[in-house]
Amino acid sequence: MSFIELSGVGKTYAAREVLRNVNLSIEEGEFVSIVGTSGSGKTTLLKIASGLISGSEGEVRIGGQPVEGFARGAAIVFQNYSLLPWLSAAANVELAVESAFPEWPKQRVAEQAQRYLGLVGLGAAGAKRPSQLSGGMRQRVAIARAFAVEPSVLFLDEPFGALDALTRATLQGELIKLCEAQQPRATVLMITNSVDEAVLLSDRILALGRGPAASLSSAFPVKLPKPRSTDLMLHDEEAVRVRVQVTEFLTENARAGNKIKAPRRESIVPVEA
Ligand SMILES: Nc1ncnc2c1ncn2[C@@H]1O[C@H](COP(=O)(O)OP(=O)(O)O)[C@@H](O)[C@H]1O
Ligand SMILES: [Mg+2]
Protein backbone atom coordinates (compact mmCIF):
# COMPACT_ATOMS: atom_id res chain seq x y z
CA MET A 1 0.00 0.00 0.00
CA SER A 2 1.23 3.48 -0.88
CA PHE A 3 1.60 6.28 1.65
CA ILE A 4 -1.36 8.24 0.27
CA GLU A 5 -4.18 6.23 -1.30
CA LEU A 6 -7.35 7.60 -2.83
CA SER A 7 -9.67 4.85 -3.99
CA GLY A 8 -12.90 5.34 -5.88
CA VAL A 9 -13.26 8.93 -4.67
CA GLY A 10 -16.30 10.82 -5.93
CA LYS A 11 -17.87 14.13 -4.98
CA THR A 12 -21.30 15.54 -5.72
CA TYR A 13 -22.32 19.06 -4.64
CA ALA A 14 -26.11 19.26 -4.56
CA ALA A 15 -26.95 17.71 -7.94
CA ARG A 16 -23.57 18.47 -9.53
CA GLU A 17 -21.17 15.55 -9.82
CA VAL A 18 -17.69 17.09 -9.77
CA LEU A 19 -15.45 14.03 -9.34
CA ARG A 20 -16.04 10.39 -10.22
CA ASN A 21 -13.94 7.36 -9.42
CA VAL A 22 -10.66 9.14 -8.66
CA ASN A 23 -7.83 6.72 -7.85
CA LEU A 24 -4.41 7.91 -6.83
CA SER A 25 -1.46 6.33 -5.04
CA ILE A 26 1.49 8.37 -3.83
CA GLU A 27 4.65 6.87 -2.37
CA GLU A 28 6.31 8.28 0.71
CA GLY A 29 8.59 11.18 -0.22
CA GLU A 30 7.17 11.46 -3.72
CA PHE A 31 6.21 14.79 -5.33
CA VAL A 32 3.05 14.43 -7.44
CA SER A 33 1.32 17.20 -9.38
CA ILE A 34 -2.17 17.38 -10.78
CA VAL A 35 -2.87 19.71 -13.68
CA GLY A 36 -6.25 20.51 -15.15
CA THR A 37 -8.47 23.27 -16.43
CA SER A 38 -10.15 25.63 -14.05
CA GLY A 39 -13.42 24.40 -12.58
CA SER A 40 -12.57 20.75 -13.18
CA GLY A 41 -12.47 19.92 -9.47
CA LYS A 42 -8.78 20.21 -8.54
CA THR A 43 -9.36 22.12 -5.31
CA THR A 44 -12.18 19.75 -4.38
CA LEU A 45 -9.81 16.82 -4.92
CA LEU A 46 -7.06 18.38 -2.78
CA LYS A 47 -9.51 19.16 0.01
CA ILE A 48 -10.73 15.57 0.01
CA ALA A 49 -7.16 14.20 -0.05
CA SER A 50 -6.21 16.36 2.95
CA GLY A 51 -9.40 15.59 4.87
CA LEU A 52 -10.67 19.19 4.87
CA ILE A 53 -13.89 17.89 3.30
CA SER A 54 -15.07 14.36 2.76
CA GLY A 55 -15.92 12.71 -0.53
CA SER A 56 -19.39 11.50 -1.38
CA GLU A 57 -17.86 8.15 -2.27
CA GLY A 58 -14.60 6.30 -1.86
CA GLU A 59 -11.84 6.40 0.68
CA VAL A 60 -8.65 8.28 1.51
CA ARG A 61 -5.86 6.70 3.51
CA ILE A 62 -2.62 8.28 4.63
CA GLY A 63 -0.02 6.00 6.20
CA GLY A 64 -2.59 3.22 6.10
CA GLN A 65 -5.08 5.14 8.28
CA PRO A 66 -8.43 6.42 6.98
CA VAL A 67 -8.36 10.23 6.93
CA GLU A 68 -10.98 11.82 9.20
CA GLY A 69 -10.68 15.57 9.50
CA PHE A 70 -7.54 17.41 8.39
CA ALA A 71 -4.75 14.87 8.07
CA ARG A 72 -2.35 14.74 11.03
CA GLY A 73 1.19 15.80 10.24
CA ALA A 74 0.03 17.62 7.10
CA ALA A 75 0.26 21.24 6.01
CA ILE A 76 -1.56 23.04 3.22
CA VAL A 77 -0.85 26.15 1.14
CA PHE A 78 -3.63 27.82 -0.84
CA GLN A 79 -3.35 30.27 -3.70
CA ASN A 80 -4.52 33.22 -1.72
CA TYR A 81 -2.19 33.51 1.23
CA SER A 82 -4.77 32.67 3.91
CA LEU A 83 -2.73 34.50 6.53
CA LEU A 84 -4.45 36.00 9.56
CA PRO A 85 -4.43 39.73 8.74
CA TRP A 86 -4.28 40.97 12.33
CA LEU A 87 -1.15 38.99 13.17
CA SER A 88 2.43 39.74 12.13
CA ALA A 89 4.19 37.41 9.70
CA ALA A 90 6.12 35.85 12.59
CA ALA A 91 2.99 35.40 14.71
CA ASN A 92 1.23 33.69 11.78
CA VAL A 93 4.04 31.14 11.59
CA GLU A 94 4.30 30.80 15.38
CA LEU A 95 0.61 30.00 15.67
CA ALA A 96 1.01 27.05 13.32
CA VAL A 97 4.20 25.86 15.07
CA GLU A 98 2.49 26.08 18.48
CA SER A 99 -0.39 23.92 17.39
CA ALA A 100 1.93 21.37 15.75
CA PHE A 101 4.29 21.23 18.76
CA PRO A 102 2.16 22.21 21.80
CA GLU A 103 4.88 21.00 24.19
CA TRP A 104 7.51 23.42 22.87
CA PRO A 105 8.40 26.44 25.03
CA LYS A 106 7.68 29.89 23.55
CA GLN A 107 11.33 30.57 22.82
CA ARG A 108 11.70 27.46 20.69
CA VAL A 109 8.49 28.25 18.81
CA ALA A 110 9.77 31.75 18.05
CA GLU A 111 13.15 30.40 16.89
CA GLN A 112 11.51 27.88 14.58
CA ALA A 113 9.31 30.59 13.03
CA GLN A 114 12.28 32.90 12.59
CA ARG A 115 14.36 30.14 11.04
CA TYR A 116 11.76 29.31 8.38
CA LEU A 117 11.04 32.96 7.63
CA GLY A 118 14.79 33.31 7.11
CA LEU A 119 14.82 30.35 4.72
CA VAL A 120 12.32 32.14 2.45
CA GLY A 121 14.24 35.41 2.64
CA LEU A 122 11.96 37.11 5.16
CA GLY A 123 14.27 37.08 8.16
CA ALA A 124 13.87 40.82 8.58
CA ALA A 125 10.13 41.04 7.89
CA GLY A 126 8.74 39.03 10.81
CA ALA A 127 7.14 42.04 12.51
CA LYS A 128 5.21 43.11 9.41
CA ARG A 129 1.50 42.52 8.99
CA PRO A 130 0.27 40.77 5.82
CA SER A 131 -1.15 44.10 4.55
CA GLN A 132 2.38 45.55 4.63
CA LEU A 133 3.76 42.74 2.45
CA SER A 134 3.63 42.20 -1.32
CA GLY A 135 1.75 39.23 -2.74
CA GLY A 136 4.98 37.30 -3.24
CA MET A 137 6.10 37.99 0.33
CA ARG A 138 2.74 36.91 1.73
CA GLN A 139 2.96 33.67 -0.16
CA ARG A 140 6.50 33.20 1.19
CA VAL A 141 5.07 33.51 4.70
CA ALA A 142 2.44 30.89 3.86
CA ILE A 143 5.19 28.56 2.60
CA ALA A 144 7.38 29.21 5.66
CA ARG A 145 4.37 28.45 7.86
CA ALA A 146 3.75 25.16 6.04
CA PHE A 147 7.38 23.96 6.32
CA ALA A 148 7.83 25.21 9.89
CA VAL A 149 5.48 22.53 11.19
CA GLU A 150 7.86 19.93 9.67
CA PRO A 151 5.01 18.24 7.83
CA SER A 152 5.18 14.66 6.58
CA VAL A 153 2.61 15.57 3.92
CA LEU A 154 2.35 18.85 2.07
CA PHE A 155 -0.72 19.86 0.06
CA LEU A 156 -0.26 22.79 -2.34
CA ASP A 157 -3.21 24.30 -4.20
CA GLU A 158 -1.86 26.49 -7.03
CA PRO A 159 0.52 28.07 -4.52
CA PHE A 160 2.06 30.45 -7.07
CA GLY A 161 -1.01 30.98 -9.23
CA ALA A 162 -1.61 34.57 -8.15
CA LEU A 163 2.00 35.74 -8.67
CA ASP A 164 3.75 37.41 -11.59
CA ALA A 165 6.07 35.20 -13.64
CA LEU A 166 9.33 36.43 -12.11
CA THR A 167 8.13 36.09 -8.51
CA ARG A 168 6.68 32.73 -9.39
CA ALA A 169 10.04 31.49 -10.67
CA THR A 170 11.82 32.73 -7.54
CA LEU A 171 9.34 31.02 -5.24
CA GLN A 172 9.55 27.78 -7.22
CA GLY A 173 13.29 27.86 -6.56
CA GLU A 174 12.70 28.42 -2.86
CA LEU A 175 10.19 25.57 -2.73
CA ILE A 176 12.77 23.27 -4.34
CA LYS A 177 15.38 24.26 -1.73
CA LEU A 178 12.99 23.73 1.17
CA CYS A 179 11.93 20.33 -0.16
CA GLU A 180 15.56 19.27 -0.64
CA ALA A 181 16.55 20.42 2.85
CA GLN A 182 13.78 18.58 4.64
CA GLN A 183 14.74 15.28 6.30
CA PRO A 184 12.92 13.02 5.84
CA ARG A 185 11.45 14.49 2.71
CA ALA A 186 7.74 15.38 2.78
CA THR A 187 5.30 13.67 0.48
CA VAL A 188 3.85 16.43 -1.70
CA LEU A 189 0.60 16.68 -3.66
CA MET A 190 0.51 19.88 -5.69
CA ILE A 191 -2.24 21.34 -7.86
CA THR A 192 -1.01 23.64 -10.58
CA ASN A 193 -2.32 25.25 -13.74
CA SER A 194 1.21 25.30 -15.19
CA VAL A 195 2.56 22.25 -16.97
CA ASP A 196 6.07 23.80 -16.83
CA GLU A 197 5.83 24.13 -13.07
CA ALA A 198 4.67 20.51 -12.79
CA VAL A 199 7.63 19.32 -14.91
CA LEU A 200 10.08 21.40 -12.88
CA LEU A 201 8.98 20.02 -9.51
CA SER A 202 7.33 16.62 -9.85
CA ASP A 203 8.23 12.95 -9.92
CA ARG A 204 4.88 12.23 -11.60
CA ILE A 205 2.18 14.35 -13.21
CA LEU A 206 -1.49 13.47 -13.60
CA ALA A 207 -4.19 15.38 -15.43
CA LEU A 208 -7.69 15.87 -14.14
CA GLY A 209 -10.16 15.59 -17.01
CA ARG A 210 -12.75 18.14 -17.90
CA GLY A 211 -15.74 18.06 -15.58
CA PRO A 212 -18.42 17.33 -14.70
CA ALA A 213 -17.63 13.96 -13.19
CA ALA A 214 -13.90 14.39 -13.81
CA SER A 215 -11.42 11.55 -13.38
CA LEU A 216 -7.66 11.40 -13.27
CA SER A 217 -5.54 10.41 -16.23
CA SER A 218 -2.76 7.86 -16.04
CA ALA A 219 0.49 9.18 -14.66
CA PHE A 220 3.22 10.89 -16.68
CA PRO A 221 6.52 10.13 -14.95
CA VAL A 222 9.22 12.82 -15.04
CA LYS A 223 12.43 10.82 -15.15
CA LEU A 224 14.92 13.58 -14.45
CA PRO A 225 17.25 13.99 -11.49
CA LYS A 226 16.28 16.60 -8.89
CA PRO A 227 16.78 19.39 -8.04
CA ARG A 228 16.06 20.76 -11.53
CA SER A 229 16.59 24.22 -12.87
CA THR A 230 14.18 26.25 -15.00
CA ASP A 231 16.90 26.68 -17.64
CA LEU A 232 17.48 22.96 -17.93
CA MET A 233 13.74 22.37 -18.24
CA LEU A 234 13.56 24.57 -21.32
CA HIS A 235 16.02 22.50 -23.34
CA ASP A 236 16.22 19.06 -21.81
CA GLU A 237 14.78 16.45 -24.18
CA GLU A 238 12.98 14.47 -21.52
CA ALA A 239 11.49 17.63 -20.01
CA VAL A 240 10.28 18.80 -23.40
CA ARG A 241 8.79 15.37 -24.13
CA VAL A 242 6.84 15.22 -20.88
CA ARG A 243 5.65 18.78 -21.34
CA VAL A 244 4.38 17.99 -24.83
CA GLN A 245 2.70 14.76 -23.67
CA VAL A 246 0.83 16.43 -20.83
CA THR A 247 -0.12 19.48 -22.89
CA GLU A 248 -1.36 17.35 -25.79
CA PHE A 249 -3.35 15.28 -23.37
CA LEU A 250 -5.05 18.36 -21.90
CA THR A 251 -5.71 19.84 -25.34
CA GLU A 252 -7.19 16.59 -26.68
CA ASN A 253 -9.33 16.26 -23.60
CA ALA A 254 -10.65 19.82 -23.94
CA ARG A 255 -11.22 19.53 -27.70
CA ALA A 256 -12.93 16.16 -27.59
CA GLY A 257 -15.15 17.43 -24.81
CA ASN A 258 -15.20 13.92 -23.49
CA LYS A 259 -14.14 12.76 -20.13
CA ILE A 260 -10.98 10.89 -19.40
CA LYS A 261 -11.77 7.24 -19.04
CA ALA A 262 -10.67 6.46 -15.53
CA PRO A 263 -8.09 3.67 -15.39
CA ARG A 264 -9.27 0.85 -13.14
CA ARG A 265 -6.10 1.13 -11.18
CA GLU A 266 -3.69 3.97 -11.59
CA SER A 267 -1.31 3.05 -14.39
CA ILE A 268 1.80 4.54 -15.85
CA VAL A 269 1.75 5.96 -19.36
CA PRO A 270 4.51 4.22 -21.32
CA VAL A 271 7.11 6.72 -22.44
CA GLU A 272 8.41 5.96 -25.91
CA ALA A 273 12.15 5.77 -26.26
N1 LIG B 1 -18.73 24.12 -1.78
C2 LIG B 1 -19.21 24.00 -3.02
N3 LIG B 1 -20.53 23.91 -3.25
C4 LIG B 1 -21.02 23.76 -4.51
N5 LIG B 1 -20.24 23.67 -5.62
C6 LIG B 1 -18.91 23.75 -5.45
C7 LIG B 1 -18.32 23.91 -4.15
N8 LIG B 1 -16.96 23.96 -4.30
C9 LIG B 1 -16.74 23.83 -5.63
N10 LIG B 1 -17.89 23.70 -6.31
C11 LIG B 1 -18.02 23.51 -7.79
O12 LIG B 1 -17.29 22.36 -8.15
C13 LIG B 1 -16.59 22.56 -9.38
C14 LIG B 1 -15.11 22.34 -9.15
O15 LIG B 1 -14.59 23.35 -8.31
P16 LIG B 1 -13.07 23.38 -7.84
O17 LIG B 1 -12.75 22.11 -7.14
O18 LIG B 1 -12.86 24.62 -7.07
O19 LIG B 1 -12.32 23.42 -9.26
P20 LIG B 1 -10.83 23.89 -9.64
O21 LIG B 1 -10.04 23.99 -8.39
O22 LIG B 1 -10.34 22.84 -10.59
O23 LIG B 1 -10.97 25.21 -10.33
C24 LIG B 1 -16.93 23.97 -9.83
O25 LIG B 1 -17.99 23.87 -10.75
C26 LIG B 1 -17.39 24.65 -8.56
O27 LIG B 1 -18.31 25.66 -8.85
MG1 LIG C 1 -8.93 25.53 -7.53
Ligand 1 centroid–CA 88 distance in Å is: 31
Q: Is the separation of the CB atoms in 156 and 191 below 8 Å?
A: yes
Ligand 2 centroid–CA 44 distance in Å is: 7
Q: Quote the pLDDT of residue 198.
A: 97
- Which of 9, 12, 13 has most ligand 1 atoms within 8 Å of its beta carbon, as the pocket-test mutant? 13
Can you list the domains of the chain with their CATH numbers?
1-73+188-267 (3.40.50.300), 79-150+165-185 (3.40.50.300)
Ligand 1 centroid–CA 183 distance in Å is: 35
Q: Quote the pLDDT of residue 125.
A: 96
Percent of the chain with pLDDT over 90: 80
pTM of structure? 0.92
Quick: pLDDT tens for 71-123.
999 999 998 868 999 999 999 999 999 999 999 999 999 999 999 999 999 99
The neighbouring-strand residues paired with 156 are 77, 190
Instruction: Return the ligand 1 atom nearest residue 208 CA.
Output: 22
Give yes or no for residue 1 having a pLDDT over 90: no
Which ligand is nearest the CA of 157, by number?
Answer: 2
Which ligand is nearest the CA of 35, by number?
Answer: 1
Cα–Cα nearest to 83, from 132, 150, 153, 45:
132
